Amino acid sequence: MKLASKVFRRTDWYVTSKFGWRKHPISGDKKHHNGTDYGTHGKKLPQYAIEEGYVVKVVTGKNGSTTGYGNYVWVRYPRINRSLLHAHLDSVAVKKGDKVKEGTLLGYTGTTGASTGVHLHFGLWKGYPYHGGVAYNAMSLY
């Protein structure tokens, strides 16, 4: 759970849906959940970069609804060879190509896209997901 503490920089979050197979909360279908969802008690909490990296993708507005992620940010962290997805954001504070360091504000939790409430969908990938990347349990890092 230390990774989530670096992302939120506070402790008033909780896990609402773990990585793995689950009943999808909207469709009701059994699907693999490729991230961990963190509830924030309805608050729009700031999200931060966990260490030095760079923003590889930012999607906002109607484009985010095609993936179900709503507004989202992908950050690549070369030192750990991982990409992290921050999805369902209310707002985004970075743009593609930005360099980030630990503590850089990325955006605020929200409920955009396919969402049932204010939360962060946090995805951890080795490589990049659309180019042969593999999803991992975000709770396993750090």
Closest alpha carbon to 44 in 89, 84, 87 = 89
Over 80: is that where the pLDDT of 125 sits? no
**What are the C-alpha distances in Å from 34 to residues 17, 80, 102?**
10, 19, 24
* Antiparallel, parallel or unpaired: β 105-109 and 82-92: antiparallel
Mean pLDDT (the chain, rounded): 81
Over 60: is that where the pLDDT of 142 sits? no
Task: For residues 58 and 89, give the distance between their C-alpha atoms in angstroms, rounded to a whole number.
Answer: 11
DSSP class of residue 110 equals B
SS3 category, 7: helix
The per-residue pLDDT for 7 is 67
The per-residue pLDDT for 136 is 64
The per-residue pLDDT for 48 is 92
pLDDT category of residue 1 using cuts at 50, 70 and 90: very low
Closest alpha carbon to 118 in 127, 109, 130 = 109
Give residue-wise pLDDT tens across range 52-108: 999 999 998 766 666 788 899 999 999 988 888 888 999 999 999 999 999 999 999
**What are the C-alpha distances in Å from 42 to residues 13, 39, 118?**
10, 7, 5
Of 22 and 115, the structure prediction assigns the larger pLDDT to: 115
Q: Which of 40-49, 90-99, 110-119 has the lowest mean pLDDT?
A: 110-119
Longest CA pairwise span in the chain (Å): 39
